Structure 1
Amino acid sequence: MTVPNAAVHADAVQTLSNWEPGEYGQRALREAFLGFLAARPDACARSCVPGHLTASAVILSHDGARVLLTLHPRVGRWVQLGGHCEEGDTGLAAAALREAVEESGIGDLEIDPRPLHVDVHLITCSLGLPTRHFDVRFLLRAPADATPVRSSESVDLAWWPVDALPPDVAPALGGHHLRPDTWINSASAEPPPRG
């Protein structure tokens, strides 16, 4: 039997095993993600009904002052871009980058291949079944002249100042681990290699 998204699964284990988050809660979640991956060879496939890994993109403007958010039609609030891993993705960061380009229309995004944050949330997926998303979020930076183009997957797409996020923004996006000063400091570092 062929395991769906086996390459992404192997990359997820390696990426999360090598990631050292600073917060206890993030370390505990990382261990839960690794346990789920160990128990479920199909953990990176949308067809894994108990839950599956997803890849998200926190896209900063080139100067780090704004973050690109999408008004998600099913969730009904502003969230980071991202989605399901697909066959052909070589890893979690590659899936996040693919989703970011598809949903924003912005090419030449720079991605830090290290996770920024992990989150687990209940959701009813596009398959119509309640499930859990084990979301791995990555930090991306847009080129200076980036002009986003809304895709059919979004109700709206907009740049928001990192210090003035919309009132209905997803709770995790406004949390301590994604403070605006953290984003700005991350964005001011040397950009990671394109990947």
Structure 2
Amino acid sequence: MSLYDDAVFVLKNYEDQEELRQRYLDHLAAHPDGMWKACGAGHVTASALVVDPQRGRVLLTLHKKLRMWLQMGGHCEPGDATLAAAALREATEESGIEALTLLPGGPLRLDRHSIPAPCNWHLDVQYAALAPPGAVELISDESLDLRWFDYDEVASVADTSVRQLMSAARAAL
């Protein structure tokens, strides 16, 4: 199964956000290259919120280009077999934490957001990744900063999308 086929399968089986889910599926049906950054009409991305439920906190990155506190995530790559694998790869690369595991059950949310040209949209499929006990983060080249925030601190630093993803992750724990 290709990454494209996996994305269609994941989205068809995602049972929430019906209208947005259908927009993702319509996008992929209209754009066979809709998984890749080169697709000018927009592309599917994968992200994961790194959660430490034992300590009641999440790890956010201060994105270098956007200068916003966000979950780890980004573009799919040819070596990604699945959306889940892409999300886990991105979370591992951007957090520096080995042995992350995705919260079972598939994606928690979808978030479609505009981005600067030449592309128009990111169609983000959002997961949660559990940090192992004693996890130590390591900042990547893609970040200005990397920081743990207590659950109740996130609302003061992050946008609506991150807050909604955090709520979904906490509900799924």
Task: Name the TM-score, length of structure 1 as normaliser.
Answer: 0.83
- Equivalent pairs: percent with the same residue? 41
The 8 Å contact of residues 155 and 163 in structure 2, kept in 1 or not, is answered as no
Does residue 114 of the first structure (1) align with residue 106 of the second (2)?
Answer: yes
Q: How many angstroms does 1:7 deviate by?
A: 1.6
Q: How many residues align?
A: 172
Residues of 1 paired with 2:171 and 2:84: CA distance?
20
Task: Name the TM-score, length of structure 2 as normaliser.
Answer: 0.93
Does residue 101 of the first structure (1) align with residue 92 of the second (2)?
Answer: yes
Match of 1:183 among 161, 166, 169: 169
After TM superposition, the structure 1 = structure 2 runs for residues 17-96 of structure 1, keeping only pairs within 5 Å, are 17-21=12-16, 26-63=17-54, 65-96=56-87
Q: How many angstroms does 1:169 deviate by?
A: 1.0
The 8 Å contact of residues 104 and 151 in structure 1, kept in 2 or not, is answered as yes
Does residue 14 of the first structure (1) align with residue 20 of the second (2)?
Answer: no
Residues of 2 paired with 1:55 and 1:72: CA distance?
15
SS of residue paired to 2:5: helix
Consecutive unaligned residues of structure 2, counting only runs of 5 or more, are none
What amino acid is aligned across from residue 84 of structure 2 in structure 1?
Answer: A
Q: How many angstroms does 1:62 deviate by?
A: 4.2
Q: How many angstroms does 1:73 deviate by?
A: 1.3
Q: How many angstroms does 1:84 deviate by?
A: 0.1
SS of residue paired to 2:77: coil
RMSD of aligned alpha carbons: 1.7
Q: Where do 4+ consecutive residues of structure 1 move more than 6 Å?
A: none
